[in-house]
Amino acid sequence: MLTPGGDGPVESLADLTIVGAAEELRAGRVKAVELVEAVLSRARATEPHVNAYAHLDCDAALAAARDADRKWSDGQISGPLHGIPIGIKDLIATRGMPTEAGSDVLAGNVPNVDAAVVRRLRAAGAIITGKHRTHEFGIGMNAPPTRNPWDLTRYPGGSTAGGGVSVAVGSSLAAIGTDGGGSIRKPAAINGVVGLKPTFGMVDADGLVPGGTSVDHIGWLTRSVADAALLHDVLSDQPGSDRPVRAARPRIGCPAYFFDGIEEGIAEVVQRAVESLAERGAEVVLMDIPGMSETPRAHTLLVSWESARLHREWMDACPQRYHPASLRALQAGSRVADADLQWARDQRRRVRIAIDDAMDEHDLDALCTPTLALAPVPMAEMDPERLLPEYCRLTLPFNLSGHPAASVNCGTSPLGLPVGLQIVGRRYCEPTVLRLAAMTELPAMRPQPLPGVAEDQAAIV
């Protein structure tokens, strides 16, 4: 029976990791068409329940798979992703495929060129399955909603919700997304998969529908740390430097701010993960980083101002085409005072320095924190203006600072829902983050069987 990178049996090709699928393709045991058909079949089975895709391009994906098989036969291997089906967030431009940013404002928009990250994927042999749903422009809410496959009534994460859900259920082997305040790491934690946000600027953002330009990172969600590392090698502008992790006793900091106010069920799971690192030889340092409590306000001011500036013409021309919550957020950004904006910019610089200084002072290889402070709430109770800041509280400081950060599955809460451990490294030290993530990684979690859909869930928005 096929194995996901050697880790154990799987039911279907759609459950393979990238590393496992690439091994099967290289060995000739699987054709690219078979792999893509399995993923598309999983998509057709799960989409009525989870709504992860805004646009699923079966014909183009199968045509690309047939072409990949012809190249295999001729000995023409494009790269390490040859024949691998991957989905793209609907904020990232794709040639000949809709890129609508989850908004009526861009309805019908079909770019004639790929974003830089998509060009790299194609050059490495990847097959694009379609576009994953996003919150409107990455700032509003997801409508119609992507659903949490662990509990279809609960928050699925955002704004790369479609990508996180797709990887979890097997309708893509990886998802390329964006992270402006936790938008990759949140759905990674909620869906039991791996999410990596590289150092700010490490991945070319050309072709990204702009939002908070000073905090937006391109990153990805995968089923394993090894897959995340492979995508980093393919998509990053540079491989990243490394502060070698001390093999015998790596030093990991646990800042107090990130452990305050955490739901008990999440705190217990994360604590066990940290203890498991200590059992494997890590030295855990309890410490803190000054100024973290100021980061939510600074982040809100920057993102709202930058987004409002970029959307000004559209807001003037067609305000009725925005979701009301998105429009309110953008209008608030138009009212940010110059003094507040300057404070936020200064705070961003102070946060970056504070994190660097704290890691230097305690001689740390990385920081470990919970990814989220609370479990996903029922969507019927989801008040974005009240709850989204709390869901982003532990992730957004590293968007301001630009440090690389990953979320890795570390267990399940008493509710039976996945819990994420966030690992943060020094800037440009993604290899360190990934090495430590591999030390604590649990197998990717896929809900099986997918929960049924209750009749009254059709009305959830």
Please list the rounded mean pLDDT of every run of 10 residues in the chain (461 residues).
Answer: 44 92 96 98 96 98 98 94 98 97 96 98 98 92 86 94 97 97 97 97 93 90 98 86 66 97 96 95 97 97 95 95 92 96 98 98 97 95 87 97 98 95 97 95 75 38 25
pLDDT at position 4 is 42
87 bridge partner residues: 175
307 is catalytic: no
Q: Indicate the pairing of strand 217-222 with strand 283-287.
A: unpaired
Q: Is the dihedral of CA 118, 215, 143, 103 positive or negative?
A: negative
419's enclosing H/E stretch is strand 418-425
Q: Enumerate residues 6+ apart whose C-beta is below 8 A from 392.
A: 181, 182, 186, 296, 299
DSSP symbol at 156: -
Amino acid at 230: L
Amino acid at 155: Y
Quickly tell me which residue has 């001689």 as its tokens: 363
Distance CA 148, CA 170 (A): 14
DSSP string covering 29-82: SS-HHHHHHHHHHHHHHHHHHH--EEEE-HHHHHHHHHHHHHHHHTT----TTT
| Catalytic annotation, pick one of 31, 103, 131, 159 | 159
Quickly tell me which residue has 């990596």 as its tokens: 196
pLDDT at position 242 is 60
Distance CA 121, CA 128 (A): 8
- CB of 163 within 8 A of CB of 169? no
pLDDT at position 451 is 60
Q: Enumerate residues 6+ apart whose C-beta is below 8 A from 87.
A: 52, 53, 128, 129, 130, 131, 132, 162, 163, 166, 171, 172, 174, 175, 176
| Catalytic annotation, pick one of 103, 166, 172, 183 | 183
159 is catalytic: yes
Q: What are the structure tokens assigned to 339, written together?
A: 């003094």
Q: Enumerate residues 6+ apart whose C-beta is below 8 A from 400.
A: 215, 295, 298, 299, 302, 347, 348, 351, 352
Q: Indicate the pairing of strand 283-287 with strand 251-255.
A: parallel
CA-only gyration radius of the chain, Å: 21
What phi, psi does 196 have (nearest 5°)?
-120, 125
Distance CA 147, CA 457 (A): 10
- CB of 373 within 8 A of CB of 393? yes
Q: Indicate the pairing of strand 174-179 with strand 85-89.
A: parallel
Buried b (16+ CB within 10 A) or exposed e, 49-61: bbbbbbbbbbebb
- CB of 395 within 8 A of CB of 185? yes
Domains of the chain, start order: 48-288+367-447 (3.90.1300.10)
pLDDT at position 459 is 28
Distance CA 333, CA 315 (A): 12
Q: Shortest CA distance to 35 belongs to which of 75, 84, 99, 107?
A: 84
pTM of the predicted structure, to 2 decimals: 0.94
pLDDT at position 297 is 97
Cis peptide bond N-terminal to 166, omega within 30: no
- CB of 26 within 8 A of CB of 35? no
